[in-house]
């Protein structure tokens, strides 16, 4: 028997409310940007071990502005560090939510697919009537194997 781990539904009002909440988050984070894959790869990504280094460097910059070029903006560095710290708990919450969302989607799709397979198997076994033939043919297309294209040349010996 098919295990049904999730039995739930969303009304259109629920979907609308969730999308509005996501839109509110986007409005509260107007500085979020998009990066191309190339841009993402090109940027250094300091991990947790680098946090202390970053904070110490900010402290050095703040206490010793005379060692920095005039173009170096300590205030912008401070803002970046503070924003990074403020985003940490938000990022963690969003990551956890995304993982739960993705896991739930996987289970729901798996359950729906298992149920569809059961319906197909039962329809094939018991529904050999003219009224189901077209439907069974349509469902069977999911399992049709593609014929591999034959190579134009035979391998050299």
Per-residue pLDDT tens for 86-104? 999 999 999 999 999 999 9
Spatial neighbors of 123 by CB under 8 A, at least 6 apart, are 132, 135, 136, 139
**Euclidean distance between CA atoms 45 and 28, whole angstroms:** 24
pTM for the structure as a whole: 0.74
Residue 135 lies in a domain: yes
**Residue 26 tokens, joined:** 């986007």
Residue at 82 is within a domain: yes
Instruction: Return the pLDDT at 114.
Output: 92
Domain contains 20:
no
Residue 117, judged by CB atoms within 10 A of its CB (0-12, 13-18, 19+), counts as middle
Residue 19 lies in a domain: no
User: Does residue 10 belong to any structural domain of this protein?
Assistant: no
Q: 21 in a domain, yes or no?
A: no
Q: Provide the domain limits for residue 90.
A: 45-142
CA pair distance 4, 103, nearest whole angstrom: 14
Q: Does residue 30 lie in a domain region?
A: no
How many domains are contained in the chain? 1
What confidence tens digit (pLDDT) does each residue in 100-142 have?
999 999 999 999 999 998 888 888 888 666 677 778 878 888 8
């Amino acid at each position: 028997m098919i295990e049904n781990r999730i039995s739930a539904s969303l009304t259109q009002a629920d979907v609308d409310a969730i999308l509005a909440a996501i839109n509110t988050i986007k409005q509260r984070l107007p500085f979020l940007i998009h990066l191309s894959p190339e841009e993402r790869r090109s940027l250094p990504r300091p991990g947790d071990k680098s946090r202390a280094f970053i904070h110490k460097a900010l402290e050095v910059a703040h206490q010793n502005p005379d060692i920095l070029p005039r173009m170096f903006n300590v205030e912008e560095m401070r803002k970046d560090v503070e924003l990074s710290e403020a985003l940490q708990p938000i990022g963690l919450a969003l990551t956890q939510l995304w993982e739960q969302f993705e896991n739930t989607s996987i289970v729901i799709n798996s359950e729906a697919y298992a149920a569809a397979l059961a319906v197909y198997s039962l329809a094939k076994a018991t529904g050999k009537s003219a009224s189901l033939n077209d439907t069974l043919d349509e469902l069977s297309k999911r399992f049709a194997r593609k014929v591999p294209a034959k190579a134009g040349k035979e391998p050299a010996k």
